[in-house]
Amino acid sequence: MTDPIADMLTRLRNAVHARHTRVDVPTSRLKVEIARILEREGFIAGFKEMEATGETGPVIRITLKYGPRGEKVISGISRVSRPGRRVYFGRNDVPKVMGGLGTSILTTSHGVMSGREAVKAGVGGEVLCNIW
């Protein structure tokens, strides 16, 4: 697999589209940080790191969140920076997603953070994805 972050985002997108309650994603430190940001921003209900079983390696179990009448909380996810084309923004150029309704996830010199946190901290970095 050449892009594990895109794989994680695709699994999330497909699970939300199919109205699943949870989805399992192979684990890495970066994916755990992305899940932490998604939980903090209110896009997922929670996540839990699961130990390796006999047939699979360690996974992150992400519990998806829906509205009171079953509306999707995550309506779109897009991968911005990918292995073939890296996208960076300076501290003054961090974009707003859907006019502030969504968020972007960046890797910065201060760690992985949302676009709002990056603007507040005054740092830029590589934009991993946008979610709304």
70 three-state secondary structure: coil
Q: Where are the alpha helices (DSSP H) in 19-94?
A: 29-40
Dist. CA 19–CA 55, nearest whole Å? 26
Please state the pTM of the whole predicted model. Answer: 0.90
pLDDT tens-digit series, residues 78-121: 999 999 999 999 988 887 888 878 999 999 999 999 999 999 99
Is 49 part of a structural domain of the chain? yes
Tell me the C-alpha distance between 80 and 28, whole Å: 19
Name which residue leads in pLDDT, 1 or 120.
120
The residue range of the domain holding 27 is 4-64
Same domain assignment for residues 58 and 86 = no
How far apart CA 14 and CA 17 sit, in angstroms, is 5
pLDDT for res 100: 77
Residue written as token pair 């084309």: 85
* Distance separating alpha carbons of residues 22 and 65, to the nearest angstrom: 9
- Shared domain for 10 and 45, answered yes or no, is yes
